[in-house]
């Protein structure tokens, strides 16, 4: 997938005109890119469109219109666009009650490394987590992580030929397995491998 450039973005004025429609289109697009892993964890698979939306929203919120500021936003979000050989996802650990969330984040240290994807019978694909900065320490993990799942040519070929896709988490304090990944998500992820 091509990275975003300034030419791909709306000006602040134009974005104000198209924002409602663009946002509705992106939200519909994201439905096929969300994978719940049990009741308290979710993978949100990113792509060029989801990152364009993030950049547009940041430019709007921060009122950024100068070239340098736009370049900084592109530099921050372009790494989350898959390159055709991987999936990139925002991983959220979601507990609605603050006290429960604090307690669980202490119990789920390292969960970001225990997420997996599996194509057919091939070995589980473990993510590279938080390449931009460390989000866990000895006392707790973060509620948000950024993951990259690297795929081999053989795995990509098997997926395209119809091999089932599974996902899960095998952390001692949070275990879930999704077999198979819903077809709409599977199709969206195959689209990232062009």
Write out the H or E segment, with its range, that includes residue 165: strand 165-171
Q: pLDDT tens digit string along 123-144?
A: 999 999 987 766 777 899 999 9
CA-based nearest residue to 56, from 92, 17, 86: 17
- Pinpoint the residues of the chain covered by CATH 2.60.40: 41-46+82-194
Sign of CA pseudo-dihedral 133, 147, 5, 28: negative
Write out the H or E segment, with its range, that includes residue 101: helix 98-107
- Cα distances from 112 to residues 32, 40, 103, 144, 152, in angstroms, run 22, 13, 17, 9, 21
pLDDT of res. 135? 72
**41-46+82-194: CATH architecture:** Sandwich (2.60)
pLDDT for 67 beyond 70: yes
Buried (b) or exposed (e) across 40-79, using 16+ Cβ within 10 A? bbbbebbbbbbbbbbbbbbbeeeebeeeeebeebbeebee
Q: Read off the pTM.
A: 0.92
Are the C-beta atoms of 167 and 118 separated by less than 8 Å? yes
pLDDT for 1 beyond 70: no
Write out the H or E segment, with its range, that includes residue 130: none
pLDDT of res. 133? 64
């Amino acid at each position: 997938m091509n990275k975003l450039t300034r030419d791909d973005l709306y000006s602040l004025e134009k974005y104000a005109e198209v924002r409602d429609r663009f946002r509705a289109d992106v939200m519909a697009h994201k439905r096929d890119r969300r994978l719940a892993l049990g009741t308290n964890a979710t993978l949100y698979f990113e792509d060029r469109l989801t990152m364009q939306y993030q950049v547009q929203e940041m430019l709007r919120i921060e009122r950024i219109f100068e070239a340098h500021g736009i370049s900084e936003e592109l530099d921050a979000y372009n790494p989350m666009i898959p390159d055709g050989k991987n999936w990139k996802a925002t991983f959220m650990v979601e507990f609605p009650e603050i006290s429960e969330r604090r307690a669980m984040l202490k119990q789920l240290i390292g969960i970001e490394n225990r997420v997996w994807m599996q194509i057919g019978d091939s070995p589980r694909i473990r993510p590279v987590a938080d390449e931009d900065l460390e989000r866990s320490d000895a006392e707790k993990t973060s509620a948000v992580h950024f993951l990259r799942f690297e795929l081999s040519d053989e795995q990509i070929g098997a997926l395209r030929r119809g091999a089932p896709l599974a996902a899960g988490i095998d952390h001692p304090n949070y275990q879930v397995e999704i077999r198979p990944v819903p077809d709409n998500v599977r199709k969206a992820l195959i689209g990232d491998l062009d």
